[in-house]
Every structure is written in structure tokens, then in C-alpha cells.
Amino acid sequence: MLFQSYGSGSVMVPWAIICAINGDINLGIAIIVLLVIMSVARQVLEPKLVSKNIGVHPIFTLIAMYTGFKVIGIFGLLIGPIVLIIFKNIFANLIDQGVFKTIFDRK
């Protein structure tokens, strides 16, 4: 969904409608265009910024956020990336210790 239920859209959409009703169509359109630009920028930049801070690829961060949201709701948006980081650290340590190498390296 381009416009989120809460946040800037809940203020900017009524503001644009009131401006248009009062006769300032240009300002109403400008507010809607600004909202679209903000929403698109947020959808594009947020996963990259989150993934950069936690050290995980943006697509995996998005998948973790989406999966967390689907499993436990809004709280899952925060829990999903945390679980991803935990799994990443567990498997990174196992790979460094050579556990997977010994499992798959049978002669």
C-alpha cells in the first residue's frame, strides 16, 4: 500500500483535500505529490538503511520484516529482523567452526 494508514498521510491527505475545497488546487496537488514522493522514498530507502545497520542484505531484511508481520503482526516487523540477525550469527559461527564442512565432506 503506497499510503500508510498512520503517519504523514493521515495529516497530508485531509490537508490536501481542505486546500482543494478552499480553492487552492495547486497546493492540494503539491501536497499529494509530496506525499507520494515521501512514500516511495521511504519504501525504497528504509530496507537499505535497516540492512546497512544490521549487516544483512536488504532483500533478506524485507523478507524477515514481512514474515514477522505475517506471523505475529505489527510487533513482528521488529522481531523478524532480530530473529534474522540471531540466525545469521548462529550459522556464521557454525560455518566458521567447520561444522557444515564436516557434515558435507564425507569421503
Low-confidence ranges of the chain (pLDDT < 50): 1-4
Is there a contact between 68 and 79 (Cβ–Cβ < 8 Å)?
Answer: yes
CA 92 to chain centre: 24
pTM, rounded to two decimals: 0.46
- The CA–CA distances, whole Å, from 66 to 22, 60, 76, 81 equal 40, 10, 8, 10
CA distance 52 to 66: 18
What single-letter DSSP state applies at residue 106?
Answer: -
Residues 70-96 pLDDT 10s: 999 888 888 888 888 888 888 877 766
